[in-house]
Chain A
Amino acid sequence: MRIHCPYCCTRGVEEFTYRGDATVRRPDLDAPEAAWVDYVYLRDNPAGPHAEYWYHAAGCHSWLVVRRDTRTHEIFSVQTASEVSEA
C-alpha cells in the first residue's frame, strides 16, 4: 500500500504510523462520561470507506486524514489533519 503525502509525495506504507478513526471528536472536559467513553473506545469500524489518521513518521511528521476503503485498500483522498480539523 502507498499513501500520497501532501508534502512528500507518494510513499510506501512502512513510512507511516496508523492511529485509527479520524471522525471521532474529542469532547469538552465537562461532557458526560458517556461521551468520553464513546470518543475513546467506540468505533464505527466500517467495511468500506473509512476516514483515518496516519502519521508520516519517516517523513514530514504530518498527521494525515486518509480516506480509504477497508475492503480494497483503495485510497480516495489524503488531507493534512490540521486542514481537516480547521475546516
Chain B
Amino acid sequence: MNDLSASLPPETGRRGKTQPMRWARGNGIRGDKTIRFTFDGRVLEAHPGDTLASALLANGVRLVGRSFKYHRPRGILSAGPEEPNALVELREGAQREPNSRATVTEVFDGLAATSQNRWPTLKHDMLGANSLLAPVFSAGFYYKTFMWPASFWEKVYEPIIRRAAGLGRAADEADPDHYEKATAFCDVLVVGSGPAGLAAARAAAGAGARVILCEQDSLTGGRLRAERVMLDDRPGWAWAQDTEKYLRALPEVRIMTRTCVFGRYDGGCFGALERVADHVAVPQAGQPRQRLWRIVAGQCILATGGIERPIVFPDNDRPGIMLAGAVRSYVNRFGVVPGRQAVIYTNNDDGLRAAADLHDAGVRVAAIVDSRQPSSTAAQAMARQVGAALFAGGAIAGTTGHTGLKAVQVRDSAGKTRRLACDLLAVSGGWNPDIALATHHRTHPVYDDALNAFVVSSPAPGLHLAGFAAGALTTDAALAQGDALGRAAAQGAGSDPATGCAMVLPRAAEKEGYAIAPLWHALGRAGQAGKAFIDFQNDVTAKDVSLAAREGFWAVEHLKRYTTLGMATDQGKTANVNALAMMAWERGRSIAQTGTTIVRPPVQPCAIGALAGTHRGRHFKPHRLPPTHDWAVEAGCVLTSNGIWQRAQWYPRPDETSWQETVNREVRSVRSSVGFCDVTTLGKIDIQGADAATLLERVYVNAWRKLPVGRARYGLMLREDGFAFDDGTTARLAENHYVMTTTTANAGAVMRHLEFCHQCLWPGLDVRFISVTDAWAQIAVAGPRSRDVLREIIDESFDLSNEAFGYMGAANVRLRDGVGGRLFRLSFSGELAYEIAVPARYGDALARLLMRVGAPYGITPYGTEALGVMRIEKGHPAGPELNGQTTAHDLGMGRMLSRKKDFIGRAMAQRTALCDAARPTLIGLKPLHASDALVAGAHLLPRGAPADAASDQGWISSSAWSPTVESWIALGFLSHGPQRHGEVIAVHNPLAGTVIEAQVVPPVFVDPEGSRLHA
C-alpha cells in the first residue's frame, strides 16, 4: 500500500477556538452575532443563518446519528431536505420533535438538539452490535424466520423487534403549539427560488400575473447560495437578493420562504407548509408554529432544482463522506469547511467544483478520484489548479474511521490500491432533477440517457418545469428557461401577452460543465464485499439489492418493499435511482426498462398538527347550540353532544344524588303536571309551492293530499332501496305551505334528499324548500297541565280547547307579547303536549317565560334523557330503531305504506327478503323482575336455548328505567315479534356475562289507548 499522505495536516489559523471549522463569513450567515445551542447537552456556538448541520460542522462535530438497522455511526451527507443520516430530536418535553433533519433545522439561541436511536450514548451505542449480525439480517430476513415455535412470535420475537423499532421518540404530552390553515389563489405558482424560479416569478409578474413564489429554504437563491457563480460580475446570491427585493415590492407577488409545497392535488390545488416559527425558540404571541396553505393556482412552474446522488462503494457511509454539492454549500453559504484534508470522488465535472471551493477555503485537496477514463480536461485542469493528485478511471475501494472518516482506499485505473488520509470525501454521482411534484398525478417519469436521470417529458396541463428540474445544465439556461416559462405561464393563466416589459437577464461569467459518465456500481461484485450502502437510513446495501434480484423481487416496487429501500424518512431521495440502476445491472436490463417507483406526497414530511390545524381538542368539531342554551346552562343542566349539537341532558337539583333520580323526577313531572324541552334540533324544512303536496306524496310512504290546512301528520320516509330512512311530522300551514320536521340526525340528509327528488327526479314540480332549522326556536311543552301554561302565553284570541285545537293541530299564533309564532299539538311523550315555535332570537326569552308562567304548575325543564325515557315508554322509534337496517314492517308500520301511489322506496320494499315474516320486528320487553336491567345491545334468545348464534332471534335497541311503569322497559326487534307478545324469552348479554328473563309485550308501555294525547 502506497501512502500518499499518512496523516492529516496540523490545525492552523483560528482552529482550536470555538467554531474551529468556520473559515469565513458565508453569504447566508450573520457572522456578527453569536448564538448558543446544545447538542447532546454540549453547549456550542453558531451564527444566525446556520442550520444545525452547518453549526455542528463549524464546531467540528461529525458524528450526528445512528442508522436504523445496524446503528452505524453517521454524519451529515447533504445540505438539504434529502438528508438521510443527520436526524436528531429537537427541543424537549411536549415540544420534542423526533427525526428532525439537521440540514434544514435553523439554529436559534437556546436550541436543544439530541441524538436519537442510540443507547447509551451516540458514540458508544450498544446496538451497534447489530452490525455483527449483518450476515443474518439481510433483506427479507424477517419473512424467513421467527416462525419456530409458532407461539414465540407474539411473546418473544415481536416484542424484541418492537423494542428496536423506530428512530426518535414522540413527545409524551399533547403538542402545546398552535397551527392554522389558509387558502391562497394565484395565476402562477412558482416552486423554488433558484435562478430559474426567480426568473420565472419575475417574468410572470412582469406579464401581469398574480404570482406566488414558494421557497422551502429560509433564503431565496437556491444553488446560487451554494455556488460561486458570478452573474454580470456580481455574486449570484446578490442577484437573487436584489430580485427578491424587486419582487417583494410588487403588489401582486407574494414570496413565501420557509414554505414547502408538499403536494400537488387535483384542479390546480397544491398543499404547502409554512414553517412560521420553527426557527425561533417560542412563536410570537398569536403566531402559529406552522401554517398549512392550500394554494389554488392557474399555472405552476416547478423550479425545484435537483438532488445529488451519492456513489455506492464499500463503507461509503462514514461521517465525513458528503455530497460534493453539499460541501460547496457549507463552504460558500455557511462559511464552514467540513474537513481539513479532502478527497473528491466524482463521475462528472460538476463534482470538481468542490475541489476549487475547498482549495480556496484553505482545505488541502489530496486527490481527485474521477471514475471517468479518460477524465475530462476540466478534471485535469482542476487537479493542477488545486494541486491534487488525479486518479482518472479510479475508484474508492473502501474507507476507514469508525466514528469519522480517517482515510480512503483509492484504486487507480491499473487496479492498484493506495491509502489516502483524509477527513472529508466529497462525492458526486451526478444529479437527479427534483421532479417529485410533477409525478404526484402518477405521471410516469422517463429515463434520459444523456442526463443519466429520470425526467418528466410531458408534464400535466398547466404544469411546467424549469431549470435543472427540466434538465437545464447551466445557470444561463436556467435563467432563460425560467424567464420564458414565466411569461408563458402568465399567458396560460389569462394574462394579456401585450402587458409587461421584457427584462434583461443577467449572464453567468462561466458556462458550467457536467460531462457525466454513469457510475452505478463502483466496483461491481467486488464492491459488495464490504457494506456498500444505497439507502443510508434503512441500511440497504448493494448486497441486499443483489439478494432481491436473486429471489425474484425484480419489479422496482418489489425491490422497495422487500428491502425497505426508499421507505425511510428521506423516502430514498438520494437512494432510489442508485438502487434501481443496480437492479438493472443485476438483471442486464436498462434503467429505462427497470422503471421507477411512484413518488407520493408529501414531498417533505409534514407535521400532523399542521394538517389538522385548529381542529383539535374541544374545537375538533363545531358546537351547535340551540337557542335556549344559555338559559339551560344557567339552569344548571348537564350538556351532552347530539351530533354536533350541544343539548341539555338533564337538569339536576342540588339534593339529587344520581342522574337517574333527576331523570325520574323530570319524567314524573311531565306525566303528572307539565315540563318543557328544547326540540329545536329537529330538522325543520319549509316547503312551498303548488306541487308541495305531490312532493310529500312521493317522499312519504303515507298519504298527504287530504291533510287539511291547520293539521299535522306523522310521516315515514324510505330510501329508494325500501328501508326506512327518516320520520317526523309535517304540518300544513296554508294551501301550498308545509313545514316538515325531521330527526335531528338526518336533518341535512333529508334536505338533500328532497332537493334530489325535486331537481333530479321531478324537476317539473312547482315546489321549493328551505331549511329553517336555525330560524325557529321550537320548544315542546308536555304534560296534562301544558294547556294551562300555554294559555298564559298564547294570545287570548286563540282557542286552545281540545275541540278547537285538537291533537295534530297546527296554527300560526301570536304570543301575548306580540311575537308571532307557530303552535303544533304534537306529542313525543304521549301526554297532552304542544310544540311552540318562535323566531330563534326569542328562544331564550320563551324558555324564561315558560319557567315564570309555569311556576304555579311546577313546570319542569327536561333534557334528552327524560325525552328518551318517555319515547320508549310510548314506543316511538328513534335513532336506534331507525338505524338504516329496518323496514317499515320491522318498525310495525307496514300498514302505513300506501298502495295507491308511487313513493320513494315502494318498489324495492316489496322484495321477498324485506317481506319475510321472520324478520325481527319491533316489540316491547319487560323483565320478569322489574329491577333486572335490560341493556340495549343485548340479544334475544328463546328461553333455555344454547347461547349461540343459531339461537339468536333479535336484540334490544333501546332501554330505560321507567319511573312510570316502575320497571326496566325496552324496545327491541324479535323474529316473528308481534305474534309472540306474552312469551318469556332470555335476554343475553355475554359481554357483561348476564342472562335475564323478560316478557315480550307490545311496544307501548304508557297509555296504549292514547287517551292522554287527545285530552
Contacts and interface: CB of A to CB of B under 8 A. Distances in A.
Direct chain A–B contact by Cβ atoms under 8 Å: yes
Interface of A: 1-2, 12-13, 17, 19, 22, 26-29, 31, 33, 36, 39-40, 53, 55, 57, 61-63, 72-73, 75, 80-82, 85-86
B902 interface: yes
Contact of B756 (A13, A55, A80, A86): A55
Nearest to B907: A36
B296 interface: yes
Contact of A81 (B268, B721, B760): B760
A1 B267 contact: yes
A63 B756 contact: yes
A82 B761 CA distance: 8
B759 A62 contact: yes
Contact of B763 (A28, A33, A86): A86
A26 B759 CA distance: 13
Contacts of B751: 61
Contacts of A40: 720-721, 908
Contacts of A17: 752
Contacts, number: 66
Given A62-B759, A72-B441, A82-B760, 15 more contacts: A1-B266, A1-B267, A1-B269, A2-B268, A12-B269, A13-B266, A13-B267, A28-B902, A40-B908, A53-B756, A55-B756, A63-B756, A63-B760, A73-B266, A75-B267
Contacts of B296: 2
A55 to B, nearest CB: 6
A52 to B, nearest CB: 11
Nearest to A84: B760
A13 B294 CA distance: 13
B911 interface: yes
Interface string B133-157: 0000000000000000000000000
A61 B268 CA distance: 24
Nearest to B752: A55
Interface of A, helix, strand, loop or mixed by DSSP: mixed
Contact of A86 (B441, B752, B764): B764
B266 A63 contact: no
B97 interface: no
A27 B788 CA distance: 52
B792 interface: no
A81 B755 CA distance: 10
Contacts of B798: none
B762 to A, nearest CB: 8
Nearest to A72: B441
Nearest to A17: B752
Given A1-B266, A1-B267, A73-B267, A27 B907 contact: yes
Contact of A85 (B265, B720, B759): B759
Contact of A53 (B441, B760, B763, B907): B760
Contacts of B265: 1
Contacts of B266: 1-2, 13, 73
A86 B752 CA distance: 20
B237 to A, nearest CB: 38
17 contacts: A1-B269, A2-B268, A2-B296, A26-B720, A29-B906, A33-B907, A33-B911, A40-B721, A40-B908, A53-B760, A55-B752, A55-B756, A61-B755, A73-B267, A80-B759, A82-B763, A85-B763
B759 A81 contact: yes
A36 B911 CA distance: 10
In the complex, which range does the number of interface residues on chain B fall in? Answer: 20 to 34
Contacts of B764: 86
Contacts of B910: 33
Contacts of A39: 720
9 shortest interchain CB distances as A-B pairs? A2-B267, A82-B763, A1-B266, A29-B902, A63-B759, A73-B266, A81-B760, A36-B907, A85-B763
Contacts of A26: 720, 761
A63 B755 contact: yes
A19 to B, nearest CB: 7
A27 B755 CA distance: 19
Interface in B307-351: none
B235 interface: no
Interface string B882-911: 000000000000000000001000111011
Contacts of B752: 17, 55, 57
A29 B516 CA distance: 73
B518 interface: no
A75 B906 CA distance: 35
Contacts of B720: 26, 39-40
A2 B265 CA distance: 10
Contacts of B763: 81-82, 85-86
B602 interface: no
A57 B759 contact: no
Contacts of A86: 763-764
Nearest to B769: A61
Contacts of B908: 36, 40
B553 to A, nearest CB: 28
Contacts of A61: 751, 755
A27 B269 CA distance: 40
B306 interface: no
Quick one: which of B267, B268, B902 has the most chain A CB within 10 A? B267
B748 interface: yes
B131 to A, nearest CB: 47
B269 A2 contact: yes
A82 B269 contact: no
A19 B756 contact: yes
A78 to B, nearest CB: 12
Quick one: which of B265, B296, B756, B907 has the most chain A CB within 10 A? B907
Contacts of A62: 755, 759
Nearest to A87: B763
B765 to A, nearest CB: 10
Contacts of A75: 267
A53 B267 CA distance: 18
Contacts of B761: 26, 85
B760 A57 contact: no
Contacts of A1: 265-267, 269
A17 to B, nearest CB: 6
B735 to A, nearest CB: 24
A39 B720 CA distance: 10
Quick one: which of B266, B269, B441, B720 has the most chain A CB within 10 A? B266
A33 B266 CA distance: 40
B366 to A, nearest CB: 54
A38 to B, nearest CB: 11
Interface in B234-285: 265-269
Contacts of A63: 755-756, 759-760
A56 to B, nearest CB: 10
Nearest to A39: B720
A57 B266 CA distance: 20
A80 B721 CA distance: 25
A29 B697 CA distance: 14
Given A33-B911, A63-B755, A85 B760 contact: yes
A13 B764 CA distance: 28
Quick one: which of A55, A57, A62, A73 has the most chain B CB within 10 A? A55
A86 B751 CA distance: 22
Contacts of B269: 1-2, 12
Nearest to A80: B759
Interface string B726-747: 0000000000000000000000
Nearest to B902: A29
Interface in B740-796: 748, 751-752, 755-756, 758-761, 763-764
Nearest to B460: A72
Nearest to A35: B907
B332 to A, nearest CB: 43
A80 B760 CA distance: 9
A17 B752 CA distance: 9
B822 to A, nearest CB: 23
A17 B759 CA distance: 15
Quick one: which of B266, B296, B760, B908 has the most chain A CB within 10 A? B760
